[in-house]
Each structure stands twice: as structure tokens, then as C-alpha cells.
Amino acid sequence: MTRTGTYLLIQELNATDLNSVQSHLSKIVEEFTLLLNDLRERQCLTSIQVQQMTVHAIPFQPVTVCCLGLTIGISRYISRLLQPIYDQATRSTTFFKATNPVHALENYAKEVRLQSNTLFAAVHVNELCTLIPHEQLTEPLQHFLYDYVPDGQVQGLTVDTIIELVRFVLQNQYFIFDNKICRQIKGCGSGQPLNHLLANIYMFYWQQDLVETLVN
């Protein structure tokens, strides 16, 4: 902060002055509104341009960040251990480059499987990484390991040991909010290396179930 001279200290916050942040935000909003209205009145901006620059609703998503927690070492190790296995297992159904869908569609057409009534769909799950209860994350992981680790161990770690370590990471995500100690019981905190891997494995089996349902 002080070495580069990049930042200017505005105010030091303390527990007895909790309204300072809100006051600064309110000041910025007021100055923002006055500026745009003034520019519009001086015909420097049109009403449409003002409308495009104005934010009417600011959606936000609460996020817990875990970068240097006690369990981060376990999370990194297990993630490095399992990510190559996941990549290999899903290689035929995963697009790694922007051109992959085009090539897949061309091959699909060459196999005479592309019909006039073929439907294409994209599924987006909001807040996927914080939506799934921990047990519903570990069950697909266990299923995945039994399916794709035939000898029952990865670099000396058995499937049961991996599951036990992952459960420990998931069950020990604590944070303080509003002077309360809380524990995250769904998904992982942002920054956890296991976060996307567990969610992807969950979706890997969810997609298979969805396709089977649609086909039948």
C-alpha cells in the first residue's frame, strides 16, 4: 500500500464508526446522479445515454473466500490428484476450445445423426458451487472414483481416504459474519481448489441422468 504510492488513505475505520462506509457510498451515488443530470441538462448527454449509464439494480451474491485456511493444503493436494483423472474421463464430452463445438457438430452431421427436429440446449445453474449440500457432493465423487480408479487408490491414497479428507475439508469451512461464527454447509468457499472439481463431477452424473430421462 505505502511502497507504490498507488493508494490514498481516505479514513481508518473502527467499531464505533460503522456508518462511514455507507456515507462514502451515498456520497458517490449523489455525485454520480448530479453529474449525469448536469451533463444531460447541458445537452452533453442524451436521455438514452444517461439511461444506459445508470444502474437501477445491483445484484450481488454473498461469497466466502478461502485461500489460506487450515485445510487449503488438503484441498490443493486432492485437487491436483483428481483433476487429471476427471479430465481424462470427460475428454470426449468436454469442449476445451471455442472451435470444439463446431467440429463436434460437423462430426455429428457426418454420422447422419443431425435431424431437422434435433434440439440444442444450454443449461446454466445459478450459484452451482454454493448450491449443493456436502453429502450430495461426496456421493458422486465416491461413485466417480470407483468408476475411474480401478485399483481403488491414487498415488497410494485409497478411495476411502480421499473421501474422508474431502469430507473433512467440506465440514470445516467456518467464517465470521455480523459477529457470528458460521459454517458453510453447501458447496465450497471461493478459492477452494476442490470447488469446481466437485461441482463438475456432480454435473457429470447429473447430465447423464438428464440424457437418460430425455431418451426414455
Q: Has residue 143 been placed in a domain?
A: yes
- What is the spatial distance between Cα 9 and Cα 216, in angstroms, rounded to a whole number? 63
Cβ atoms within 10 Å of 173's Cβ, excluding its own:
20
Range of the domain at 48: 20-53
Q: Has residue 114 been placed in a domain?
A: yes
Instruction: Specify whether 43 is located in the same domain as 149.
Output: no
As given in the structure block, the three cell numbers for residue 198 are 466437485
End-to-end CA distance of the chain: 60
Cβ atoms within 10 Å of 121's Cβ, excluding its own:
6
Instruction: Specify whether 116 is located in the same domain as 157.
Output: yes
Q: In this predicted structure, what is the pLDDT of residue 166?
A: 96
What are the pLDDT digits (tens) for 100-141?
Answer: 888 888 988 999 888 888 888 888 888 888 889 999 999 999
State how many domains the chain has: 2
pTM of the model: 0.71
Instruction: Specify whether 82 is located in the same domain as 35.
Output: no
183, 174 in Cβ contact below 8 A?
yes
Instruction: Specify whether 119 is located in the same domain as 204.
Output: yes
Reading the chain (216 residues) residue by residue, the pLDDT tens digits are 677 777 788 888 776 676 887 888 889 889 999 999 999 999 999 999 999 998 877 766 666 777 777 888 999 999 999 999 999 999 888 888 888 888 888 988 999 888 888 888 888 888 888 889 999 999 999 999 999 998 999 999 999 999 999 999 999 988 877 788 889 999 888 778 899 999 999 999 998 888 888 888
Instruction: Specify whether 43 is located in the same domain as 93.
Output: no
Instruction: Specify whether 34 is located in the same domain as 93.
Output: no
Cβ atoms within 10 Å of 195's Cβ, excluding its own:
20
Instruction: Specify whether 87 is located in the same domain as 47.
Output: no
Cβ atoms within 10 Å of 28's Cβ, excluding its own:
10
